[in-house]
Amino acid sequence: MVVLAASILHKSGKVLVSRQFVDMTRMRIEGLLAAFPKLIGTGKQHTYVETENVRYVYQPMEALYLLLITNKQSNILEDLDTLRILSKLENVTVAQVKQYCEMESHEEKLHRQMREDKIREAKDEMKRKANEIDKNKIIKNRGDNYKGGFGPLQSMGSGIFENSFNDTSISSSGTGSRLSSDVDSFSTKSKARPTSAATAPPKGLGMTLGKSKRTNQFLESLKAEGEVIVEDVRPTLGKSQAAAPPPTDPITLTVEEKLNVTLKRDGGVSNFDVQGSLCLQILNQEDGHVQVQVQTGENQGVSFKTHPNMNKELFANENILGLRDANRPFPTGQSGDAGIGLLKWRMQSTDEKMVPLIINCWPSSSGNQTYVNIEYEASSMFDLQNVVISVPLPALREAPSVNQIDGEWRYDPRNSILEWSVILIDNSNRSGSLEFVVPQADSSSFFPIAVRFMATNTFSNLKVTNIIPVKGGNPPKFSQRTQLITENYQVV
């Protein structure tokens, strides 16, 4: 039996109270509850109705409906028993509710005791590691003292203190002899699969320091209980909309396109919208009397609009952006400003060939497990950078089992999201796949899938070709930035 939500609705369709028992977005549960009154008919005697993905099990109670939302694999007899149990809760008094809330729970006591034991063991482990670090420092200081030629290592020449994954030793570059320390190394290389907040191992790295398997288990247990653990972590991928460095040239022009795409999970495009802009930033006031000459691409679907203060005829005839009043300079701005908008454009389409990245998700159930295969197919139009594909998961006790992946992955247990990261998609990897296994779940649990990336090419292919001084003289030096970023990119 898998109960997604339990709710009480008025017969008019108004939701009075609802509680979800799996990880669901507010939009999804509101959509399911809004669809229920439209599915039930008048004069029908049955107490359930099914859709393509879920089953509604309900019981009329005067002017209300007591409703259970389950998946279609749920046992209908167990669902009806659960519904009857819930209906009995409507007949309790306030005093009974207070008594039930104040009753002691053996399971709750056991849970609290286990949590306290985990915290105590984690603190003891941290103290032990701190003592090991102190011992290592003492041994290192002794090794430094022996370098002067005193003590039992005098015949060994100059000592070198080495800290490796498996041992801490003092070796001599002169004779090749080695003295092993009796203190274990602080760091050990873990061979087990991460269980929470997991990240696929990076490729091509040299020797790095990491936490032991036991320490990881303690820290992850604390994190699962909601404790905040401060630790050193390697940098993760940032969002595609990373802040650009401040300009250094007198004039900077930024070409930016924001991509809004909604793809259907069964194929096809629901929404494809590109909004672009060209912004001008001038640092020095003496460089304000200029015009900007641009070159537009051959994409006929792009519609351009100039700023109201621009000379529209000049742009239409010569592709030059200049003020209507040629005697007025462009205003200057500080390095933190976004700049002045000169031109904007928009492109919309329903052609799937225009989409730079297609995501296909294939959930399939076998026994009590669900196998999920996800693949991406990238267009040859763009090289995509910092690609992150975020897949929602049902509520899990531990990280999913990832069997095959192109790139890296990370599991966010707090939000129950699997993040699949690919640093660069180019001609060498226009397609890739990921496969993971979770306990049996409804296929709708893995949607909507969110995607973000960036590229240095745009659909408009607009480029700045020249800066023209209005009052003559040498044109000032300028730089150009071009980027395509995702604003809202989903598979629903």
Burial class (CB in 10 A: 0-12, 13-18, 19+), 350: exposed
Whole-angstrom distance, CA of residue 277 vs CA of residue 281: 13
Number of H helices, E strands in the chain: 6, 24
What would the two tokens of residue 398 be? 């531990």
- Say if residue 118 is in the same domain as residue 70: no
What would the two tokens of residue 485 be? 């970023």
- Say if residue 159 is in the same domain as residue 176: yes
Packing angle of the helix pair 213-224, 106-146 (nearest 10 deg): 140
- Residue 140 host element (H or E): helix 106-146
- Residue 120 host element (H or E): helix 106-146
> 43-65 burial, b for 16+ CB within 10 Å, e for fewer?
eeeebbbeeeebbbbbbeeeebb
Residues 2 and 74: beta-carbon distance below 8 Å: yes
- Residue 450 host element (H or E): strand 449-455
- 3-class DSSP string for 418-445: EEEEEEEECCCCCEEEEEEEEECCCHHH
CA distances from residue 371 to 163, 363, 454 in whole angstroms, order as listed: 42, 6, 30
Residue at 407 is within a domain: yes
Domains held by the chain: number: 3
The CA-to-CA distance between both ends of the chain, in Å, stands at: 26
CATH number assigned to the domain comprising residue 472 = 2.60.40.1170
Q: Which domain holds residue 96?
A: 3-102
pLDDT tens, the chain, 492 aa long: 688 899 998 888 888 888 888 888 888 888 889 888 888 865 566 688 888 889 999 988 888 888 999 988 888 888 888 888 888 776 666 666 666 666 667 777 888 888 888 888 888 888 888 888 888 878 777 665 544 444 443 333 333 333 333 333 333 333 333 333 333 333 333 333 444 344 444 444 444 444 445 555 655 665 565 554 544 444 444 444 445 566 678 899 999 999 999 999 988 999 999 999 999 999 888 888 999 999 988 888 899 999 999 999 999 999 999 999 988 999 887 545 668 899 999 999 988 999 999 999 999 998 899 999 999 999 999 999 999 999 999 988 889 999 877 889 999 998 999 999 999 999 999 999 999 999 999 999 999 999 999 999 999 999 999 999 998 888 889 999 999 999 999 999
Return all residues near 414 (Cβ < 8 A) that are at least 6 apart: none
Return all residues near 25 (Cβ < 8 A) that are at least 6 apart: 392
If you ran DSSP here, which 8-state letter would residue 199 be given? B
If you ran DSSP here, which 8-state letter would residue 89 be given? G
- Say if residue 161 is in the same domain as residue 257: no
Map residue 340 onto helix, strand or coil. strand
- Say if residue 299 is in the same domain as residue 437: yes
- Say if residue 134 is in the same domain as residue 279: no
- Say if residue 436 is in the same domain as residue 463: yes
- Say if residue 301 is in the same domain as residue 203: no
Give the domain-ending residue among 189, 224, 259.
Answer: 224
Of 247, 336, 343, 240, the C-alpha closest to 291 is 343
> Can you point out the beta strands (E) in 122-188?
159-163, 168-172, 178-180
- Residue 358 host element (H or E): strand 357-366
Residue at 427 is within a domain: yes
- Say if residue 316 is in the same domain as residue 438: yes
- Residue 213 host element (H or E): helix 213-224
What would the two tokens of residue 283 be? 């640092």
- Residue 66 host element (H or E): strand 64-71
Cβ–Cβ contacts within 10 Å for residue 116, how many? 10
- Say if residue 453 is in the same domain as residue 339: yes
Residue at 235 is within a domain: no
Give the domain-ending residue among 224, 241, 273.
Answer: 224
Residue at 243 is within a domain: no
- Say if residue 331 is in the same domain as residue 407: yes
Backbone angles phi, psi at 113, to 5 degrees: -65, -40
CATH number assigned to the domain comprising residue 97 = 3.30.450.60
Q: What pLDDT does residue 456 have?
A: 94
Whole-angstrom distance, CA of residue 420 vs CA of residue 388: 6
Residue at 242 is within a domain: no
Which residue has 């159930």 as its token pair? 365
Residue at 309 is within a domain: yes
Q: What pLDDT does residue 116 have?
A: 87
Return all residues near 338 (Cβ < 8 A) that are at least 6 apart: 254, 279, 281
> 402-436 burial, b for 16+ CB within 10 Å, e for fewer?
beebebbbbbebeebbbbbbbeebeeeeeebebeb
Residue at 66 is within a domain: yes
- Say if residue 363 is in the same domain as residue 450: yes
- Say if residue 155 is in the same domain as residue 13: no
Residue at 237 is within a domain: no
What would the two tokens of residue 231 be? 């630790």
If you ran DSSP here, which 8-state letter would residue 381 be given? T
